[in-house]
Structure 1
């Protein structure tokens, strides 16, 4: 039995047990252990922390395999356990159980209220801005969070001042309304998006385009609009939670738009943790179409489109501000800024690990126009506030 055969047995056994494939780090641990590497060597080769591999991911993998194979499994004996499974020729029956029936997340829905104001953009186009009250939160991910990155460290306490943020990512209708306003610094294309739809998020807009959108709206309304700081974005995404997603420990494609299928070539899993696999829609969805908000009343914080933040990219949080402000370097002239900015939230084309509350992305320069990148906006002071009731969903 070779490693590829062993991996096939492990993947199918786990798929039957919890409805997902092994994650990247689990495959790395399995392969490293197969090659008799130590946890330290596995962590170094896979670019994970030793503590995470040794104390969390490794033990969790052996526990998961023990449940899937119905026998004791450890780093020392897993090869024999997989070989026994192989030689009993159970592969043909492993996929007979419908994983959706085996493992199904339940969304608990409750009613809450949010305060908001409406910006009238003309031509019956409205922009809902939700009030976010002041508070503090722990920014970044803990070292034992599955599929985390070192760029999410160190965790640090951040104090946030009250502000308002758009309820959804900016839509194509809202974009067209503001793009028709007088130019401030640069020209804006009226209809840049690849996936057309008035209520779909605008995409294929650069960071500079998003800044110009804010400048035009500010000039028109006499209120100061801008992109959110990275700290503000994570604060509103978490909405008081400390789990990988504001839904809870995992996520499903029933409540968010991301790639829930496996990528065998790159060993990417369409599931997160013990959550199920899902579907791949291959395009954006209408904002708010899943009809489940987080506790702050915001929609589509996980998936659909990546969202530009105001901050310059930094490789980690060493020296990051703790007052919720954007972390920017010398040049404060936004229209002339160079380098990379921060993207948050994941998108329709990404796996669930990229959609975590703490996940950060710098794979695109400020002038990129990709069909999986959009944005939402913030305002420090709004108009008269209204109240609305909305459903909040939590995955137990």
Structure 2
């Protein structure tokens, strides 16, 4: 265990420039030093899995009624104004836990896939986009669970997917804005679709709020190349969606308030994914965005990260 230091980046504002403010807006960035506790698991062959201590706390889960793109219904691209997928907002108490600093990488996946089987086989090379330091993707929810089970068996500690509440708390890192970077986001800070996307006769913008359009990389990037949040966690906005433990529920009515996974009721043929991905526009990469995927579905935009509560 030990401390590590990093820079926390915040978008302080958008400045109009040029004659009559006609040039592209300039994003004003400020930063301050951060510090967090970390530890690592040795997976063998020079591969480590770094974990960051997420402190105890409480937060308001979900988004306010006026947050842009909260009306996206978590399933289709229909513009449904009465959907409340990200509400009602509610207070949640979170106990401390460890979370992987990055989404699980392909090197880490390959190492754990070589460990003794617990319940199911694992393909050591499932990903569409190749690279040891790229996030693993194209894995089923049950395969992510098997990864956790194998690592738990190897280490004697309990590893698992985060609950939806733990994920959002870790992502927000005490922020209340749509992104942990602030009111908007840029493709210099995250890997999402920064160009407009036309789909089913509707255009989904490559910018959010007062922000600017950017680039579309059309694939995953290596983990850790963008700034972390105030807890020292990387890549929670975009790159890959991340599996959570919870069953899908259409809203937060009667949701747990203790940070536990909501695995009763709802639709247990679907699980939650969070964070957005390289494929999606920025409005779908917010801290509060929720989406569902079937247990028997994999996708080139879905990966995961893990937690340990010990």
TM-score bin (small chain) = 0.7 to 0.9
Q: Which segments of 5 or more consecutive residues in structure 2 lack a partner in the other structure?
A: 1-14, 72-83
SS at match of 2:228: coil
Q: Root-mean-square deviation (CA), in Å?
A: 1.8
Name the SS of the counterpart of 1:340 in structure 2. strand
The answer to whether the aligner puts 1:308 opposite 2:243 as a matched pair is yes
Q: CA deviation at 1:263?
A: 2.1
Q: 2 CA distance for matches of 1:201 and 1:283? A: 11
8 Å Cα contact 1:18/1:276 also seen in 2: no
Aligned partners of 2:40, 2:191: CA distance in 1, in Å? Answer: 26
1:270 maps to 2:206: yes
Q: How big is the shift at 1:288?
A: 0.7
Q: Does 1:347 align with 2:282?
A: no
Of 188, 195, 220, the match for 2:154: 220
Which of residues 142, 145, 151 is equivalent to 2:64?
142
Q: How many positions carry a matched residue from both structures?
A: 280
**Structure-2 change in CA distance of 1:18 and 1:368 (3 Å):** farther
User: Residue 269 of structure 1: CA displacement?
Assistant: 0.5
SS, match of residue 158 in structure 1: strand
- Shift of residue 172, structure 1, vs aligned partner: 0.2
Could you state the TM-score of these two structures normalised by the residue count of structure 1?
Answer: 0.69
1: CA distance between counterparts of 2:220 and 2:197? 20
- Structure 1 runs not aligned, ≥5 long: 1-16, 20-69, 71-95, 332-336, 382-396
Tell me if structure 2 keeps the 8 A contact 1:135–1:161: yes
TM-fit CA distance, 1:107: 2.3
Secondary structure of 1:257's aligned partner: coil
Whether 1:111 aligns to 2:57 is no
Do 1:169 and 1:376's aligned partners in 2 also have CA atoms closer than 8 Å? yes
Deviation at 1:367, TM superposition (A): 1.8
Equivalent runs, 1:1-396 vs 2, <5 Å: 97-99=22-24, 103-149=25-71, 150-264=84-198, 265-290=201-226, 292-329=227-264, 338-362=268-292, 364-381=293-310
Give the greater-gyration-radius structure (CA).
Answer: 1
CA distance in 2, matches of 1:104, 1:376: 33
Q: Report the CA distance between 1:338 and its aligned residue.
A: 4.6
**Does the 8 Å CA contact 1:133/1:162 hold for their aligned counterparts?**
yes
Q: Secondary structure at the match of 1:141?
A: coil
Higher helix proportion, which one? 1
Q: CA deviation at 1:97?
A: 4.6
The TM-score, its normalising length taken from structure 2, stands at: 0.87
Residues 182-191 or 263-272, more deviating: 263-272
The 8 Å contact of residues 274 and 291 in structure 2, kept in 1 or not, is answered as yes
Q: Is the Cα–Cα contact under 8 Å of residues 18 and 274 in structure 1 kept in the other structure?
A: no
Query: Residues 338-369 of structure 1, C-alpha deviation per residue, up to 9 Å, x if partnerless?
Result: 5100000000000001100000001x211211
Structure 2 SS opposite 1:152: coil
Aligned counterparts of 1:295 and 1:207: Cα–Cα separation in 2: 28
Q: What are the superposed Cα offsets for residues 25-58 of structure 1, whole Å, 9 maximum, x if unpaired?
A: xxxxxxxxxxxxxxxxxxxxxxxxxxxxxxxxxx
How far is 1:329 from its partner?
A: 1.8
Q: Distance in 1 between matches of 2:289 and 2:106?
A: 25
Please list every run of at least 4 consecutive aligned residues from structure 1 whose deviation after the TM superposition is greater than 6 angstroms. Answer: none
